[in-house]
Structure 1
Amino acid sequence: MDLPVMPPVAPMLAKSVPEIPDLGHAEPKWDGFRTIVFRDGDEVVLGSRNEKPMTRYFPELVEAIRANTPERCVIDGEIVLVADDRLDFDALQQRIHPADSRVRLLAEQTPASFVAFDLLAVDDEDLMRRPFRERREHLVGALADARAPVFVTPATADLAQAQEWFTRFEGAGLDGVVVKPPERPYEPNKRTMFKIKHLRTADCVVAGFRWHKSGDVVGSLLLGLYTDDGRLQHVGVSASFPMARRKSLLDELAPYREVDLAGHPWGSWADQSAHPDRRMPGAVSRWNATKDLSFVPLRPELVVEVAYDHMEGDRFRHTAQFRRWRTDRDPASCTYDQLEEPVGYRLADILGGPAPA
């Protein structure tokens, strides 16, 4: 491979802001795997956010990129998976599998798509120092004839439309809105873009915690919500605490630690084969099989209010943020009924039309 921009490249990042800034360029925020595509003729490399290649996991995209992109190019974008006309991040995660036979099967059963949103190089030209508005123009031109599963992300210069997208597109599984300063160059690993994500709160049962990697302080709280049939479903974790708070949490949780694991709602977590249809708090990490995901059980009597952006299936898509203890809440009242559901929206209506400049 011989390109003007060579792998690996750390992608340019975005920092969270509470409102959509009016900078003249906004895009939907895609919920998938951030990927920089490097193509030199038939040779294709899919670079991930951690700069490790993901090429072997998406053979169907390698073929699609050969068919729909310039002969020599470097494109920043997102690998997504569409199911029932909305994004499905859970299904996308299943694509990361060590067995080649499984990878090939999933490529046929749940094929992925690539949504392009920046062009770093084309032919012999390095575009990274060019302003984004020029890179966007080059991208739209370079992929003018691209067909599914390769797309160019929609974009708008209209703040009102961006605000409408923020509300409507969540129903198709999108993650919010990204705003890009039109005059900025491409700056790897720098948070020079802006992301605006949905923020909601939920009252959850705290049924356990994990130790922090640094020692005897709390690493994360394990959160649960009750289902209609009375099960306490593990829905995610709250984990972003200053070190002093991690120590004080240990004292606050101490009265709830005397519990018989056999009677705990997640007491049988170790037998993952007995729960093929739901995520358990002790399941092996798909991304790091050596990571210790064991937990300290707590009597499920504590209720905490957390902030979250959106759900992915029956769990929080990202780490939830601790807000406050809710001593006034009955744990049994912490059900899925409290969660706000976005209005449905067809993903085809976002990607189906021609890509705007």
Structure 2
Amino acid sequence: MRAVGVPELPGPAMCRGGCAYEVKFDGWRCLTFVRPGGVYLQSRQLKALGPYFPDVVVAAQSTFAPGTVVDGELIVFDAAAGRTSFSALLGRVTAGRRLPAEVAAHPASLVLFDVLAHDGVDLTARPLRERRVVLEHLVAGAPPALALCPQTTDLEQARQWFEELAITGAEGLVVKDLSGRYRPGAAGWWKYKRRVTTEAIVGGVIGTLGGPRALLLGRLDERGQLRYVARTGPLAPTQQQEAAEMLTAAADPHPWPCPLPAAWIGQLDQPEPVRYVPVEPLLVAEIVVDGAYERGRFRHTVRHLRLRADLAPADVELWRSSP
């Protein structure tokens, strides 16, 4: 199932069978299929993740009976930083021959929040409250690579989690109806994420100068170097027209490589470099971002609000490498 973003945290009245509030961790969604021949980890983009997370595969195989299917989020927790590390998670996929060292240095966990089948019995038609009981029983005594997602029905407790767990890298909350069934692919949950409005400098466009489809954004570091920070989602027609009237093609060598390395985008579903048109870093964009900021970049696509002709690049907050 999918979660749809909402601007406010839903109260108990929004859920027919009562609301369950769960912590939304910053990681990769992962379905785990336990079969007689082994364990298969599958991403939301249908990518096989098992080869990159052998520690999770071993834990699942030793914990769940064949015919079990569970849903969760793969994370890597950096104990030294006291928060989840998406770059360490991504490093599992890009490690190659270094994978054994990465597994040892950055052990992964699968935070489980649902069970779709157990011992060959389909549970998707059962309400969440019943599936949760089954899941709690399955995860009890599991190795550290498997963890149960925190859940509460107390709205005030949920609000406290939202505020206090931000420092650990948690993105927000997911809200579910306790009477709800599990409908694969359907949008039946809500996600309430931490979002703020901020500014960044336009350093390139995806598309053309006359028809920009999205903006590539940066910020100046202390030496005045433009550092890449984010990519916007698709621009609305009016936003495209506004940007096309104000953009200037880059005249001097641009500080970013072209195409933009896929690693800079930092998303599992972006395996290829991004081609773009460099522009002079003169325009400031007002954007909406969430709390997923790591290694100097907003990890998720940001939402473009408008261009700020009243601001100069020097007015934008300086680039920083950490939250």
Structure 1 unaligned residues grouped into runs of 5+:
1-11, 271-280, 342-357
**Contact 2:243 / 2:307 at 8 angstroms: preserved in 1?**
no
SS in 2 for 1:135: helix
Which amino acid counterpart does residue 151 of structure 2 have in structure 1? A
Q: Give the TM-score taking structure 2 as reference length.
A: 0.88
Match of 2:136 in 1: 140
Are 1:36 and 2:26 matched, yes or no? no
- What is the CA–CA distance in structure 2 between the aligned matches of 1:182 and 1:339, rounded to whole Å? 40
Identity across aligned pairs (percent)? 33
Matches within 5 A, 1:103-182: 103-182=99-178
Runs of 4+ in 1 over 4 A off after TM superposition: 285-290, 337-341
**Contact 2:41 / 2:49 at 8 angstroms: preserved in 1?**
yes
Match of 1:306 in 2: 287
Are 1:330 and 2:306 matched, yes or no? no
1:60 aligns with one of 55, 58, 62: 55
Which amino acid counterpart does residue 54 of structure 1 have in structure 2? L
**Contact 1:75 / 1:116 at 8 angstroms: preserved in 2?**
yes
SS in 1 for 2:207: strand
**Offset at residue 246 of structure 1 (A):** 6.0
**Offset at residue 105 of structure 1 (A):** 3.1
Which amino acid counterpart does residue 93 of structure 1 have in structure 2? L
- What is the CA–CA distance in structure 2 between the aligned matches of 1:182 and 1:219, rounded to whole Å? 40
Match of 1:248 in 2: 241
- What is the CA–CA distance in structure 2 between the aligned matches of 1:300 and 1:95, rounded to whole Å? 34
**Contact 1:59 / 1:104 at 8 angstroms: preserved in 2?**
no
Match of 2:299 in 1: 317
Are 1:297 and 2:278 matched, yes or no? yes
2:91 aligns with one of 91, 94, 117: 94
**Offset at residue 168 of structure 1 (A):** 1.2
Match of 1:348 in 2: none
Are 1:193 and 2:171 matched, yes or no? no
Q: CA 1:164/1:290 → structure 2, altered by over 3 Å: closer, same or farther?
A: closer
**Contact 1:200 / 1:308 at 8 angstroms: preserved in 2?**
yes
1:24-49 residue CA offsets vs partner (Å, 9 max, x unmatched)? 21000011110111113461000111
- What is the CA–CA distance in structure 1 between the aligned matches of 2:193 and 2:322, rounded to whole Å? 15
- What is the CA–CA distance in structure 2 between the aligned matches of 1:289 and 1:303, rounded to whole Å? 26
Match of 1:19 in 2: 8
- What is the CA–CA distance in structure 1 between the aligned matches of 2:275 and 2:148, rounded to whole Å? 42
- What is the CA–CA distance in structure 1 between the aligned matches of 2:181 and 2:269, rounded to whole Å? 34
Are 1:219 and 2:213 matched, yes or no? yes
SS in 2 for 1:336: coil
Aligned-residue CA RMSD (Å): 2.5
Which amino acid counterpart does residue 222 of structure 1 have in structure 2? L
**Contact 1:217 / 1:246 at 8 angstroms: preserved in 2?**
no
Which amino acid counterpart does residue 299 of structure 1 have in structure 2? E
Equivalences, count? 311
- What is the CA–CA distance in structure 2 between the aligned matches of 1:68 and 1:115, rounded to whole Å? 14
Match of 2:16 in 1: none
- What is the CA–CA distance in structure 1 between the aligned matches of 2:271 and 2:90, rounded to whole Å? 18
**Contact 2:199 / 2:286 at 8 angstroms: preserved in 1?**
yes
Which amino acid counterpart does residue 260 of structure 1 have in structure 2? A
- What is the CA–CA distance in structure 1 between the aligned matches of 2:144 and 2:127, rounded to whole Å? 28
**Contact 1:227 / 1:335 at 8 angstroms: preserved in 2?**
no
Q: Give the TM-score taking structure 1 as reference length.
A: 0.80
Which amino acid counterpart does residue 18 of structure 1 have in structure 2? P
Match of 2:260 in 1: 282
1:234 aligns with one of 228, 235, 238: 228
**Contact 1:218 / 1:249 at 8 angstroms: preserved in 2?**
no
**Contact 1:202 / 1:307 at 8 angstroms: preserved in 2?**
yes
SS in 1 for 2:129: helix
**Contact 2:211 / 2:244 at 8 angstroms: preserved in 1?**
no
